[in-house]
Amino acid sequence: MRHPEKSDILLNAAGVAVAGLVGLGMFFLIGARYGAPVLGVFNKVFAVYLVAAQISSFGLPVSALRRLAPLRNDGPACRTALWGALLAAVPAIGLVAGGLWLAAPFLGRLGLGGETARGLLWAAAALPAFSCAKILLAALNALARLKTYALCNALRYVLLLCGVLLHMAFGLDAAVLPAVLLFAEGLLSAVLAFFLRDILFAPPPIRELLPEVGAHTRFGLRAFGGNLVQDLNLRVDVICLGLLMPDTAVGIYSMAALLAEAASQLPAVLRTVYNPRTMVMLAQRDDAALAECIRRVRNLTWIGMSCAGLAAVALYPYAVPLITGRPEFAEGTAAFALLMAGTVIGAGWAPFGNLPAGAGFPGVQSLIVLAAFLLNLCGNFLLIPILGLEGAALSGAASQALIAALLHRFARKTLRLAV
């Protein structure tokens, strides 16, 4: 298989850069306009929303990626596989969206707060569109339509920002700010359907779909736990802080976490670009080429992210208060430094985060991210009462380091790759 073109890498890097800058601009705008408490509430809603979306998508984006990549030159087979993934997601989407709607008041009483509970009602309404969008984005990635993928990946955050700007322009109450989730995901799903119209429209007969639905469901059951816990691992710090600390502290930490997460999207560009190639090399058992690819990309990523991380930590205490006009956000500097340390450590293996599932070991991938999640969860509950924001950040950094170590061990011991 061909090496990814430089234009693919550059365009996806540009897409991630636009998504990151626009997404950060949105959160900066919310923080500057409404202050840390409202930002804290919005980020709690966003964290629960992303976890619920992972549950409702049921591991099917990974299944679609794995199934469609070898079929990219067979239009009818791609159509059947994609429709199978979408239909397999319907039961989970309905159950999770309905469950979140009913559970929102309980979650508010549990400790997330009444404002968060009201925001979760909007999140529940947006879940069906978000879950479908995840599967359609995975299909674009599998089909190596990387230019379109880059555009749509950036478009999500552009639409979110547009929603926030419209919310402010109409002078709406901060309590309905999470409605921007429904606005953005609904429009993004329509755009994705347009770009995949050649294989999405004119669905195949039901007799052809049923085997695909079954295959996706079986794979989704095996991959579900790992994908759920992976997303939960990225949000557990905000959720734990929301339970243990005031909204203002959550807002200050959220700013640091959002910037660290934006930095983590840089190696995600390489995962997007190399996913199709990795899946084909795994299917063909081209171990030598795969090992060489992992070594080269991993080492270059570590070098680049180390430089970027040092620069970001040095600028944070000056740039963030200046941009937001709120000096209290400088209190998150130490937490940001710890989060960036974890991001740099995990960056080398981030481009190959789907390696176990792609090799046919979704259960192993689930165990890897489960171990990291349990470390993160226990660390948060133990360290937040002692260290505050820094305790949450230290737990997150340790979990990222553990994922990198376990992926390295899997590649060497199970796949016998010389990495």
Q: Of 109 and 272, which is predicted with more confidence? A: 109
The pLDDT of residue 1 is: 46
What percentage of the chain reaches a pLDDT higher than 70?
Answer: 95
Contacts of 72 (CB under 8 A, 6+ apart): 78, 142, 143, 144, 276
Q: Of 276 and 3, which is predicted with more confidence? A: 276
Q: State the chain's mean pLDDT as an integer.
A: 86
CA 158 to chain centroid: 16
The pLDDT of residue 375 is: 94
| Integer Cα distance of 220 and 328 in angstroms | 43
pLDDT at 357 over 90: no
Residue 228 pLDDT grade (very low, low, confident, very high; cuts 50, 70, 90): low
CA geometry: angle 378, 54, 75, nearest 5 deg: 145
| Integer Cα distance of 108 and 117 in angstroms | 5
Q: What is the arithmetic mean of pLDDT over 300-327?
A: 90
The pLDDT of residue 216 is: 85
Structure-block tokens of residue 347: 């960056």
Whole-prediction pTM: 0.66
The pLDDT of residue 46 is: 87
| Integer Cα distance of 171 and 150 in angstroms | 32
Structure-block tokens of residue 149: 């993928």
pLDDT at 151 over 70: yes
Q: What is the arithmetic mean of pLDDT over 137-157?
A: 88
Of 209, 186, 199, residue with least CA distance to 148: 199
314-331 pLDDT, tens per residue?
999 998 888 878 888 889
The pLDDT of residue 285 is: 84
| Integer Cα distance of 210 and 334 in angstroms | 52
Residue 161 pLDDT grade (very low, low, confident, very high; cuts 50, 70, 90): very high
pLDDT at 142 over 90: no
Helices 287-324, 247-284: crossing angle, 10 deg rounding: 160
Of 129, 139, 368, residue with least CA distance to 272: 139
Helices 247-284, 389-413: crossing angle, 10 deg rounding: 10
Q: What is the arithmetic mean of pLDDT over 192-216?
A: 87
The pLDDT of residue 412 is: 92
The pLDDT of residue 121 is: 93
| Integer Cα distance of 227 and 224 in angstroms | 5
Helix, strand or coil for residue 105? helix
Residue 242 pLDDT grade (very low, low, confident, very high; cuts 50, 70, 90): confident
The pLDDT of residue 9 is: 65
Rg (CA), the chain: 21
Q: What is the arithmetic mean of pLDDT over 389-411?
A: 94
Contacts 24+ apart (CB under 8 A), 281-286: 281/1, 282/355, 282/358, 282/359, 282/360, 283/70
Helix, strand or coil for residue 353? coil
